[in-house]
Structure 1
Amino acid sequence: MFQLFETFGRIPNSIVDSGPNMLRIKTGLPHEFLNAVFRARIPEQDPVSAINSALEIFRSDRTPMMWWVGPSTEPQHLGKFLENCGLAHAGDLSGMAIDLESLHVSPTVPRELSIEAVEDDETLDRWVRSWASAYEMPEAVLPVLLPLFRKVGFESGSTFRFYLGEWKGNAVATSTLFFGGGVAGVYITVAPAYRHQGIGMAMTFVPLRTARSAGFRVAVTHVPTDRLGPNRKLGFKPHCTLSTYVPRDLDRRGKDAA
């Protein structure tokens, strides 16, 4: 997951601070999903100073951001320290994994849904717009995101594959397949009005099949803890919890996209 988010560091003027005790990414774009802190190891002796220091780069120009807490973060109760520093608990995600050799379930694809690999600029434009819309990103980010995804998606030796889901011709869902760290990461978005119709399960299955054909043994994903059902049916098993926090004094723009 960290390698996936580091891709945002290829956005012009982005800052990527990657060290043994923290990964901090600031694109400067006005959305929390595009500015974040990962795998932070905060000293328990003086957590407030360390947390405020890490946040300063975002607070200095009021850039929305998200702080991720999970198995690679320290101390154990980091979330409590973040709340004491003015961050609000935004939600929990379940980190899940599947042994692709056990992928035997083939979900029924809704008749109205078509899924295609993104292989040209026109389809990529629809994919980016659908992806950004699912996270409620402002229109202003599109001219920046489109060149980024074009570069990482179409460059030689790309570790990305993108898939677009259309419902009766309207773009309503996206899949991102990312190869990194020896595993395949699968991440989907579904427009809120089209959820609970089997779209998410179908959009997850297609990249899983691609990953298995490419020789990968394990695929991972993360989904809201109250939406595990479709992934369990495919064979995913929960392995960890990822908690997210956002500063109360910075605008929160994003929503769950899956």
Structure 2
Amino acid sequence: MAEAIKMEAPQNSLVEKIEVNLAEYSFFLGQIKQGQIYDGREVKWVSTGGPIFNRILNAHFEPEELNQRITETVARFKAANTPVTWLIGPATQPLTLGSQLEKHGFTYRGYWHGMALDLNHLSERPQVAAGLTVERVKDYQALKDWIDLACSGFQFSAKVTQAYQETLGNLRLNANTPWKPYIALIKGQPVATCVMYTGSQAAGLYWTATLPAAREHSVGTGLTWELLREAREMGYSTAVLHSTQMGLPLYERLGFQDYCKIKIYTWDNRSKLLQTLVKIKAKLHL
């Protein structure tokens, strides 16, 4: 019995760190111009005023009030005619929330793998392409270029890229911001992106994207490892991320372990562009 308790406690703690970092990251995205944040005990949500990064998460509803609470929570997004993503993690209650969301017009889009790594056990630097360097983005022109590069890595259309430019381009960007974008270069040429979000309990990684032509050079692995090393130097003991199925091999090679699933449900107003944006975000951990 004692052995089982010892095994469960660290895992529960890591799952909490995974969910907390996602909530903190989402709240930061809500700080853009026109953004709104609601940090309630029963539910949290972020509204950016635009077509992307609108999120509902950490719901804890009483089963008998579930349908009423869903209607109330989604009302502001429907009134504004903006799409929204509802994220369901291990702590979400009740367990029937997902099936009820579908009755309210939401579509199930799959799930992310909630992963964590003990930075005290970070592996040695992996073998990567010669000439790989990593730089932090520190000014708004560089951020604009970073967004273009990330969207190229994900192979987004010009319209989708513009939507991200209009939203991410308004984020706070200074030495103390927890949202830290990085760029990887090979012999001075930008080839990959990643964001490190320095949260209260863990360092989270988001927006890992590599240009198609550079994917055979372990650029993503090298960039991710450099950010993990930096997070450790900042004093973090845990790194977390939310991976698609495609990204699992990269992160597992670096020592990340899969601890939970974050289920994704989306609602949109049937605009073709907005549907595209919602589907993209459901596939990628942005």
TM-score, L = length of structure 2 = 0.79
Letter in 2 for 1:85: H
Alignment of 1:199-214 (within 5 A): 199-214=219-234
**Could you say which residue in structure 1 is the equivalent of 2:28?**
7
1:22–1:132 CA distance, 2 compared to 1 (3 A): farther
Between the aligned partners of 2:246 and 2:62, the Cα distance in structure 1 is 32
Q: Is the 8 A contact 2:83 2:269 kept in 1?
A: no
How many angstroms does 1:130 deviate by? 2.8
The reply on whether 1:220 has 2:240 as its aligned counterpart is yes
How many angstroms does 1:189 deviate by? 2.6
Structure 1, 161-170 or 212-221: larger mean CA deviation: 161-170
Q: 2:174 aligns with which of 154, 166, 186?
A: 154
Q: How much identity, in percent, do the aligned residues show?
A: 27
Q: 1:19 aligns with which of 27, 40, 45?
A: 40
Q: 1:129 aligns with which of 148, 158, 165?
A: 148
Between the aligned partners of 2:78 and 2:189, the Cα distance in structure 1 is 38
Q: Which runs of 5+ in 2 are unaligned?
A: 1-21
How many angstroms does 1:173 deviate by? 2.4
Q: Is the 8 A contact 2:191 2:214 kept in 1?
A: no
**Could you say which residue in structure 1 is the equivalent of 2:194?**
175
How many angstroms does 1:112 deviate by? 7.1
How many angstroms does 1:140 deviate by? 4.4
Letter in 2 for 1:122: Q
Q: Which runs of 5+ in 1 are unaligned?
A: none
Aligned length: 252
After superposition, the CA RMSD in angstroms is 2.4
Spell out, residue by residue over 1:52-106, the C-alpha distance to the aligned partner (whole angstroms, 9 max, x if none): 2211111112201111000121111321111122111112101111010110232
The reply on whether 1:187 has 2:225 as its aligned counterpart is no
How many angstroms does 1:11 deviate by? 1.3
Higher strand content, 1 or 2:
1
1:132–1:72 CA distance, 2 compared to 1 (3 A): farther
Between the aligned partners of 2:140 and 2:268, the Cα distance in structure 1 is 38
Spell out, residue by residue over 1:5-63, the C-alpha distance to the aligned partner (whole angstroms, 9 max, x if none): 111222122121110011111111122xx101010123211322221221111111220
Between the aligned partners of 1:135 and 1:179, the Cα distance in structure 2 is 27
Between the aligned partners of 2:77 and 2:190, the Cα distance in structure 1 is 33
The reply on whether 1:116 has 2:153 as its aligned counterpart is no
TM-score, L = length of structure 1 = 0.87
Q: Is the 8 A contact 1:26 1:35 kept in 2?
A: yes
Letter in 2 for 1:177: M
